[in-house]
Structure formats: C-alpha cells, structure tokens
Amino acid sequence: MSATVNSVTVEQEGIYLIIAAPQVTMIKDGGCIDVWFVVNGQDVKNSGVRQCQAEAENTDVVINQTIMPLKKGDKLQVKTSGTDVKLDAITAKGEPLIPSVIFTVFGLY
C-alpha cells in the first residue's frame, strides 16, 4: 500500500479488510453523517453506514467495514457527508492525539 493525503493505492492484488472509523461530533440536535468507500473514483455499492444523534455535542466513533477484492493500482478512499456534524481530532492534555479518522487496510490475500 502507498498513501497520499486522501487515498491509498493498492500495490498487490488480493482480498482486503477495510475499516474506517471517523470520530464525529454533532453540532446541532438531529445531526447525521454517512460514511462509505470509493474505489477508483466510483462509490462502492452497499458500503455505507449512517449515524444520527438526537442531541448536539455528542461525540461518537462511527465504524464502517467491508471485505472486498482489490487490484494492483486501485485507489481506495473513504468519504463522508453529513448535516450538522464535524469530524474531530481531539488533543487532551498529557495524552496523544485522538485522530479524526482511523483507517485500516489489511490484506487477507
């Protein structure tokens, strides 16, 4: 795998376990976020999840995962879309950064 700021390029054909875990804070009551995968600029069908919260200022980690075949050279991305939400990276005093998104790609071959 090689990575840029917004994508991962597959270097070996195989079957991959892919997990995206964005940390989401609701700005207003009733905010929702959708998270899905994109390969080579095309949305992956049936790869999305939605998280909605009734109350503002709640923070949750939304887990999206799939197993899919990928070919050498495929570009993999995770996309989000939402209303009244923000992705949060959190810095707590004396602790390491809590990233806004944890993205895992593991080859099962």
From first to last of its 109 residues, the chain has per-residue pLDDT tens of: 654 568 899 999 999 999 999 999 888 888 899 999 999 999 999 999 999 887 788 888 999 999 999 999 999 999 999 988 889 888 989 999 989 999 999 999 7
Please provide the DSSP assignment of 49-62 as one string.
EEEE-SSTT-EEEP
Q: Which helix (H) or strand (E) holds 96?
A: none
Instruction: Please list, in sequence order, all residues whose beta carbon lies within 8 angstroms of the beta carbon of residue 102, skipping any fewer than 6 positions away.
Output: 19, 20, 21
Helices and strands per DSSP (H, E), number in the chain: 0, 11
CATH of the domain at 35: 2.60.120.40
Residue in 27, 25, 80, 33 with CA at minimum distance from that of residue 52: 33
- Domain that residue 69 falls in: 2-107
pTM for the model stands at 0.87
Residue 22 pLDDT:
93
Residue 59 pLDDT:
85
For tokens 């998270």, what's the residue?
35
